[in-house]
Amino acid sequence: MALAGSALALLAAAPVAARAQGGWPEPTARYTPPAGAADTSVAGLDLLPWPASISRRAGRLALDSTFTWTVSGYSDGRLVRAVDRALRRLEGRTGMILPRTPTRSGAATLVVRAAGPGMAVQGVGEDESYTLDVASGGAVLAAPTVVGIIRGLETFLQLVRGDGSGWSLPLVRIADRPRFPWRGLLVDVARHWEPPAVIERTLDAMAAVKLNVLHWHLSDDQGFRVESRRYPKLQELGSDGDYYTQDQVRAIVAYARDRGIRVVPEFDMPGHAQSWFVGYPRYASAPGPYHIAERFGVHDAVFDPAKEATYRFLDGFVGEMVKLFPDAYWHVGGDENNGKQWNANPAIQAFIQRQHLGDDAGLQAYFNRRLLEILTRYHKRMVGWDEILHPDLPRTIVIQSWRGAASLAAAARQGYDGILSSGYYLDAMGTAADYYRVDPLPDSLGLDSAQAAHVLGGEACMWGEVITPETIDSRIWPRTAAMAERFWSPKTVTDVAGMYRRLRLVDARLEELGVITDDHPAIMLRRLVPGADIAPLLTLLGAASPVSLGARYWASQTAMRFIPLTTLSEAAVPDPAGARTVGDEVRALLADAPRFAVDRGELAATFRSWRDAEPVIEAQAAASPMVEAGLPLARGLADLGAAGQEALAYLRAGTAAPASWVAQGDSLLARAARPVANLRLMVVPALRDLVAAAAAARPGAE
């Protein structure tokens, strides 16, 4: 509770007033955020997440061959490695060779000053605040902990810019700290395996946007992904051979700690556990034999809570795993147990009677209490999904909500800490704006400050049903960066256009860390049409998004882990910039009623490109059945292009489109709105607005 309380204190204090500090000139222009929405467009600053407090004045700190750096105050290996990584990235970005060793003088282009190491095992109470003062003589990055320095180094890198005079930083004074102490990303490596290199680059990208929790979903019906030496059949029979060795887990946890990121493991139970029972069927509630699940969705396999052997097994397992995962929190999953095996097992039903547990929910609460005893013995706090909430469980457990903010608020009112994930599911294929608009602590919850303190933060969720090492980057990024700002920045930072403007630069910077997003469609399309021109397919995917996991799941009778994830839908990215641009242009055009003279050239060119793409894609489909699957989508887009061209003509002429044209437009819009090959056209709403405007056009002032 104390930890969450301090988080709230941070929140209340934001934006923090820039502290007066000896030796630094007063800013010539002090930035004061407006009472309503915070202004993230302070000239030329593209920070993301936006800091709690920032002031800017005229001038620049040049970055050139005279660059020096030093570490004053506390230092340790983690700090030195963080500075070294930042300088290597700065070298890569500027092409300059920077000094490998600190200057001995107290003054330097970059002075890094930590007061202390931070917590021995990073926790929810870690102080992540920092101040960054950039003056023309040098920059001072100061923080109470090494983690604060790690956060500030990312801000420092985001400030670097080039112009005709070379590289420099603008003169700013930043005092920054997070709004929420738990800012996470769930990565499911059970449904599809992600090798260590993917996890590492994901951690690098998380650190770049100041996220601090990797929630590692390590087991599920479709796979068990960690080496157990005590129960080796877990990974040997439960994984198809793809799992992390204990050395790899240790290396990843250390890699995360070096970046100020906690690793919270999740071993989902009692349900979502079929892969465990391939090697150890005796702990399941039905006899088996079991195989690794091939289908996705909810399975029947569930731990047997009525056997003492189950708890001895779990005690042994947790006892082994706690040596790998030092974090104070332990995620037990707890979701989506369908109860079928329990209902069908007379011994379990008798156990419910004998123990007066009432029903399956009571039995699950019993299981969780026993699990809690084990975790408590190993000094771990239990985290679980909504379903673990039960009157029998103490207030020390933490609820992660996939059901929604209301569910979380109910838990908070009862005194449970919580984390919001509802609204943050990346596989829902929402836009960055969709996620950005979800606040973990909306005023509508009506929580008092003590209750609100129980909301620790939020977690983006990357479920693994239809992702691979090749597609995961473009599914996580850049959208997760928008959530990272939601979790870090003051609540008043809400300008969507400003977020997108800054997101584009974040995207380019993430590629520096080996994360591929913008280039993802080109890379995958080249394989679909080897040796051919991919521009028409890029045009198509610029207007289309993969459908959500749910839509994909329900549309397919073969939703299973063997589905080849190399289709057009995999080549597409969610929230494509091209579709956003069309939306913006249509809005601008319609706002210019009745003249409709804004930017018409751009829109007309886009509509033409949609029509031009279709015959080329048609020809390519003849040589590629995988492209053929997307043909109806290409035809739908060409139809929209034609309708768009005609709508522009009506608007230009100031003539209302005839009813028959409008009816035809409505019908092709309805057709184009239907998903094809797991893709949906994101430009339909914009075209619908345009058609409607054409129907209502009247002579304008042009």
CA distance 29 to 58: 8
Residue number with CB closer to a copy of itself (98 or 450): 98
For the question of residue 294 being annotated catalytic, the response is: no
Q: Is 242 within 8 Å of 253 (Cβ atoms)?
A: no
Residues 6+ apart with CB under 8 A from 600: 589, 648, 652
Q: Which of left, alpha, beta for 636 (phi over 0: left; psi -120 to 50: alpha)?
A: alpha
Position 519 contacts a copy of itself (CB under 8 A): yes
Instruction: Output the smallest distance, CB 624 to a copy of itself, in A.
Output: 5
Residue 398: strand pairing partners = 383, 417
Residue 216: strand pairing partners = 187, 265
Residues 6+ apart with CB under 8 A from 341: 284, 285, 286, 300, 301, 302, 348
Please select the residue that binds a copy of itself; options are 76, 315, 434, 512, rule is CB under 8 A: 512
Instruction: Output the smallest distance, CB 113 to a copy of itself, in A.
Output: 26
Residue number with CB closer to a copy of itself (359 or 519): 519
Please select the residue that binds a copy of itself; options are 183, 257, 509, 580, rule is CB under 8 A: 509
For the chain, give the number of residues: 702
Please select the residue that binds a copy of itself; options are 115, 551, 604, 629, rule is CB under 8 A: 629
Position 601 contacts a copy of itself (CB under 8 A): no
Please select the residue that binds a copy of itself; options are 3, 626, 653, 673, rule is CB under 8 A: 626
- Report which of 176, 170, 66, 72 is spatially closest to residue 115, judged by C-alpha positions: 72
Kindly calculate the radius of gyration of the chain based on its CA atoms and give it in whole angstroms.
Answer: 27
Instruction: Output the smallest distance, CB 66 to a copy of itself, in A.
Output: 15
Instruction: Output the smallest distance, CB 91 to a copy of itself, in A.
Output: 4
Position 559 contacts a copy of itself (CB under 8 A): no
Q: Is 417 within 8 Å of 456 (Cβ atoms)?
A: yes
Residue 681: strand pairing partners = 544
Binding mask 637-676 for a copy of itself (x = CB under 8 A): ----------------------------------------
H helices present in 220-269, as ranges? 233-238, 246-258
Position 93 contacts a copy of itself (CB under 8 A): yes
Binding mask 259-298 for a copy of itself (x = CB under 8 A): ----------------------------------------
- Report which of 204, 210, 89, 83 is spatially closest to residue 151, judged by C-alpha positions: 210
CB atoms inside a 10 Å sphere around CB 611 = 16
Residue number with CB closer to a copy of itself (100 or 354): 100
Binding mask 423-462 for a copy of itself (x = CB under 8 A): ----------------------------------------
CA distance 187 to 185: 6
Q: Is 142 within 8 Å of 130 (Cβ atoms)?
A: yes
Q: Is 174 within 8 Å of 154 (Cβ atoms)?
A: no
Q: Is 49 within 8 Å of 489 (Cβ atoms)?
A: yes
Instruction: Output the smallest distance, CB 207 to a copy of itself, in A.
Output: 18
Instruction: Output the smallest distance, CB 117 to a copy of itself, in A.
Output: 21
Position 567 contacts a copy of itself (CB under 8 A): yes
Q: Is 244 within 8 Å of 187 (Cβ atoms)?
A: no
CB atoms inside a 10 Å sphere around CB 336 = 15
Q: Which stretch binds a copy of itself (CB under 8 A): 17-25, 501-509, 537-545, 682-690?
A: 501-509
Binding mask 526-555 for a copy of itself (x = CB under 8 A): xx--xx------------------------
Q: Name the pairing type of β-strands 417-420 and 166-176.
A: unpaired
Position 229 contacts a copy of itself (CB under 8 A): no
Position 94 contacts a copy of itself (CB under 8 A): yes
- Report which of 37, 120, 110 is spatially closest to residue 78, judged by C-alpha positions: 120
Find the catalytic residue in 336, 511, 618, 628.
Answer: 336
Instruction: Name the strand (E) or helix (H) holding 217.
Output: strand 213-220
Residue number with CB closer to a copy of itself (193 or 330): 193
Position 511 contacts a copy of itself (CB under 8 A): yes
Please select the residue that binds a copy of itself; options are 508, 555, 597, 670, rule is CB under 8 A: 508
Chain residues that interact with a copy of itself, rule: CB under 8 A = 91-97, 100, 161-164, 166-167, 195, 197, 247, 470, 504-505, 507-509, 511-512, 514, 516, 518-519, 522-523, 526-527, 530-531, 558, 560, 562-567, 622-626, 628-629
**Which residues belong to the active site?**
336
